[in-house]
Structure 1
Amino acid sequence: MSKLTGVQPTKKYLMINGEKIETDQYASLSSPYSGEEIAQIAMANKEQTEKAIEAAYESRHLMAKMPAYKRAEILEKVVSLLTEKADEAAEIITSESSKPIMFSKAEVARTIETYKFSAEEAKRIHGETIPFDAASGGVGRIGYTLREPIGVIGAITPFNFPMNLVAHKVGPAIAAGNTIVLKPASQTPLSALFIAELFEEAGLPPGVLNVVTGPGSVVGEEIVRNDRVSMVTFTGSPEVGIGIRNRAGLKKTTLELGSNSALIIDKDTVIDEIIDRCIMGAFSNQGQVCISLQRIYAHEDVYEEFTEKFTQAAKQLKVGDPLEPDTYISSLISKGEADRVLGWIEETKSSSADIATGGCLRNGVLEPTIITNAEQDLKVSCQEAFAPIVVVNKFRSMEEAVQQVNNSRFGLQAGIYTNNVKHAMYASQELHVGGVIINDVPTYRVDQMPYGGVKESGTGREGIKYAVEEMTEMKLIVWNNN
């Protein structure tokens, strides 16, 4: 019996055109924390992926003609069902990802909000009228725009928020009247299959949401290649995202890629008031967050105080079993990830950097790690750690701090703590990122805000209203009354 789920590991099937589809091959899914088998996951082949795309393609007209209020009703029903099953949903997230249960519960709460926003936005999709008589050739004509669904959306989601990041693709897609082929991350398919069953119960027609589990080289490749897919929305690594962009041709793409998000702490900051937020930003979900706080630049006047208090707070975090209610740090998603990060930490030992705390595995779990005086070319500084690691360096002037933040191939979000309005304004104008968070960590996100980056952090924006715009096409209608 599985300690994580309380049931024997079961087979999980593909969901295509409203039916559970068996496959020839299954892969064992195990807990990253305990190593215990949770389920056997169906591995789709190319032909089965094509069938899922065909089902979505054949359902696209039905979905496009479904009235907005009905699309909203289905999403509202999912909100109701997920609210009833919130504890079960959180346990699924924790079992497959080893996300501490406190964070899994928070993710479920956010997922409920995301589908609520989607239901609301389904009723707000509209165009605008055009003042044609502003041009001499437009006199006697009226015109307006419509937003029409784009068709089949291929959604490829990551492991770190396996329920809410699915919601950020599925929710607006359904709100806009599209159909979906969803490929969840190989380590976290259970959350996606769980949500697909809720949508079926909520009355979503067969073929609208198809869940295809399997390797990216098969399933993901076919989603990107197939001409019946009109748009690909992907969250994951820059390397994979760039590959998708290169192969997608004229398909629309929304790419939410990597980051090594930074925070500036100005000299007038009250350090005691920001420690808890910095702890959350750096260490929630083991740092496996796209906007995890990875780089901190503290003014030299507050650097020592901040580093000491931040380090002491990190040492107090409970490390261990993700199902314990007060566990803050648990296993990374795989042993390979842990080995990679340990190699990065080892690299710092031959540099001028110091390890203030952490840097070791404790019962297979990487301790929260703080590194000071790290050079810019170290991997922990210039690449995306996706682990409970944060680098703390000092600066003298705001110009220097902004320059160091911008010295990155990524640009998703950045934060600044300051009581100086001029410094806040300067940072908001000069930081080359998709979002600047003033007086909070860059890890801040609510689900209706526009979310996305620049440089190698991707293209396009999520956040329900903004995702709906990405997932629809504008059509112009012109009436000649002459």
Structure 2
Amino acid sequence: MTHDDMTAGAELRRDLTPTLLIGGEPEMGEGRAAPLLDRYTGAPIADLVAATPAQAARMVDAAWAAFRRGAPGPWDRGAILDRAALQVEAARGDFIAIMQAEAGFTAADAGGEVTRCVQTLRLSAEEARRLSGDVIPLEGAPGQAGRTAFTLRVPLGPVLAITPFNSPLNTVCHKIAPAFAAGNPAILKPASATPATACLLARILVGAGLPEGFLSVLLGGPAEAGLAMADPRVRFIAFTGSTEAGRAIQTQAGLRRTQMELGSIAFTILAADADLDRALPKIVGAGYRKAGQVCTSVQIVLAHESLRAEAAARLAELVAALPYGDPRAEGTVTGPMISRPEAERVERWIAEAEAAGAVRLAGGGREGAVVAPTLLDGITPAMKAGCEELFGPVVGVAPFATLDEAIARVNATPYGLATGAFTNRLDDAFALARRLEVGGVHINETSSSRVDLMPYGGSKDSGFGREGPHYAVREMTEERILTLTA
């Protein structure tokens, strides 16, 4: 570790130590403590102290009291979110430095999080201002002359947002900004690996004018999240994480509403007519950013047998040329994974795939938490890398003969988040859109194509519900009908 690394760690420890937020007021945690680590150097950069049961209960109390008082009007909610967007942009450098440390992101990955967070805040501000219902034509029913009806969308109640390490800013924003746009208080439980980013965003939102009680930050792990979840006054649970954890949360949620964005095995299909000059750079970009730790990172490239050899050879050249390692070094594309144990797991999966017949065309090495960008050819469903979510900087290539075969391969997994496909045949594009059992089909884009205003979510074991401010606001509100008789 260099002197500059030590200085950066000391600055983070002094200025950005994660703290609880209880109804908008900062407070130190009083529960168990754990160090927050720099993902590349392994050095401690801050102390994370979890909430106690009493502190978690006070958060729910504050959220419930705020819900009962009522939110500011739609215009004011939009103005607060717009101010927060400006302040997030002004703090871009701080956010990038924090994410490089606690998440191991490169400057490009961290900067992308900031840009998208600003957009998500602005979209949520628009949704706050235009939240509306529908006019119901009651007079179209027999015996209903003189009656008028329309629907209102009203706040649902306190929202518990449980967010992951791999998008410590924008996914947090996708939960709490639509919650406030809808008029709901929120309790945020950020990933214990990356809490400082979320804490800075929370401080910005409070500084932008979020009223008392409308935001709390609950630090800790699953046990601390369970403290808030156990309270029936929490009306909506928004979770992004593993399918296994999602199942447990759904069981505890009971009849309460939830939004689940869970695991994935993301495919991108190269049809026989695919433009490789267009497709391959996008696949590399989508496979290795954030060290492959994205739910929609390209895990498997299904290449038509007529171009499989060319696609694999050209991908190997592109992957072998990717700079990797120190996320603070200029030009680094793939930084460290979130922990050394996770990197060791990915290293084992690579070795197991090779032992089962896969051919390593690029990468494969590991140093600490850094796994070299890796390309494997001949991935099959019998390998972990072909049937489980890999969540690391590894892309596999497999052939297919017909479009039916490719669709069957995607649909055979228990997941269904997103699939990319490169083809210029309109009939094939619509066949994929209709037959793939996934939440998003992206033609001439990869599985990782996402714009923050779109509905984003999956099917099957990838969960249900949709992110995207317009869609999330509707899920976090309740539709109420009002009828008037003349």
**TM-score w.r.t. length of structure 2:** 0.96
Decide which of 61, 72, 81 is 2:68's aligned counterpart.
Answer: 61
Aligned partner letter, 1:436: V
Residues 444 and 209 (structure 1), Cα distance of their counterparts in 2 relative to 1, 3 Å cut = same
Aligned counterparts, 1:35-434, within 5 A: 35-64=42-71, 66-217=72-223, 219-362=224-367, 364-434=369-439
Give the C-alpha shift of residue 404 in structure 1. 0.9
Residues 8 and 130 (structure 1), Cα distance of their counterparts in 2 relative to 1, 3 Å cut = closer
Match of 1:9 in 2: 13
Aligned partner letter, 2:131: I
User: Partners of 1:433 and 1:124 in 2: how far apart?
Assistant: 30
RMSD: 1.3
User: Partners of 2:99 and 2:143 in 1: how far apart?
Assistant: 59
User: CA deviation digits over 1:431-457, x for unaligned, max 9?
Assistant: 110010001101000101000000000
Give the C-alpha shift of residue 350 in structure 1. 2.5
User: CA deviation digits over 1:402-433, x for unaligned, max 9?
Assistant: 11111111000001100111111111111110
Give the C-alpha shift of residue 61 in structure 1. 3.0
User: Partners of 2:423 and 2:448 in 1: how far apart?
Assistant: 17
Q: Is the 8 A contact 1:372 1:393 kept in 2?
A: yes
User: Partners of 2:380 and 2:25 in 1: how far apart?
Assistant: 54
Q: Is the 8 A contact 1:99 1:322 kept in 2?
A: yes
- Which range moves more in the overlay, 102-111 or 83-92? 83-92
Counterpart secondary structure, 1:136: coil
Give the C-alpha shift of residue 88 in structure 1. 1.2
Aligned partner letter, 1:412: L
Residues 363 and 23 (structure 1), Cα distance of their counterparts in 2 relative to 1, 3 Å cut = closer
Match of 1:454 in 2: 459
Aligned partner letter, 1:7: E
User: Partners of 2:70 and 2:151 in 1: how far apart?
Assistant: 20
Give the C-alpha shift of residue 3 in structure 1. 4.1
User: Partners of 1:432 and 1:269 in 2: how far apart?
Assistant: 22
User: Partners of 2:141 and 2:51 in 1: how far apart?
Assistant: 55
Q: Is the 8 A contact 2:338 2:369 kept in 1?
A: no
Q: Is the 8 A contact 1:2 1:9 kept in 2?
A: no
Q: Is the 8 A contact 1:182 1:211 kept in 2?
A: yes
User: Partners of 1:109 and 1:385 in 2: how far apart?
Assistant: 27
Counterpart secondary structure, 1:322: coil
Aligned partner letter, 1:85: A
Q: Is the 8 A contact 2:10 2:45 kept in 1?
A: no
User: Partners of 2:344 and 2:334 in 1: how far apart?
Assistant: 17
Q: Is the 8 A contact 1:5 1:91 kept in 2?
A: no
Q: Is the 8 A contact 2:273 2:424 kept in 1?
A: yes
Give the C-alpha shift of residue 262 in structure 1. 0.5
Give the C-alpha shift of residue 167 in structure 1. 0.4
Give the C-alpha shift of residue 363 in structure 1. 5.4
User: Partners of 2:468 and 2:61 in 1: how far apart?
Assistant: 28
**TM-score w.r.t. length of structure 1:** 0.97
User: CA deviation digits over 1:109-135, x for unaligned, max 9?
Assistant: 010000010111111110011010111
Give the C-alpha shift of residue 377 in structure 1. 2.2
Aligned partner letter, 1:48: Q
Give the C-alpha shift of residue 284 in structure 1. 0.7
1:473 to 2:474 alignment: no
User: Partners of 1:3 and 1:285 in 2: how far apart?
Assistant: 24
Runs of 4+ aligned structure 1 residues displaced above 6 Å come to none
User: CA deviation digits over 1:240-288, x for unaligned, max 9?
Assistant: 0011111101210000001111011011122122221010111111010
Counterpart secondary structure, 1:151: coil
User: Partners of 2:125 and 2:465 in 1: how far apart?
Assistant: 21
User: CA deviation digits over 1:127-179, x for unaligned, max 9?
Assistant: 01101011103222111100000110000000001000000001101111100
Aligned partner letter, 1:140: G
Give the C-alpha shift of residue 371 in structure 1. 1.2
User: Partners of 1:302 and 1:22 in 2: how far apart?
Assistant: 58
Aligned partner letter, 2:164: P
User: Partners of 1:45 and 1:299 in 2: how far apart?
Assistant: 55
Residues 61 and 414 (structure 1), Cα distance of their counterparts in 2 relative to 1, 3 Å cut = same
Aligned partner letter, 2:6: S
User: Partners of 1:206 and 1:419 in 2: how far apart?
Assistant: 53
Aligned partner letter, 1:58: A
Q: Is the 8 A contact 2:9 2:44 kept in 1?
A: no
Q: Give percent identity, aligned residues only.
A: 36
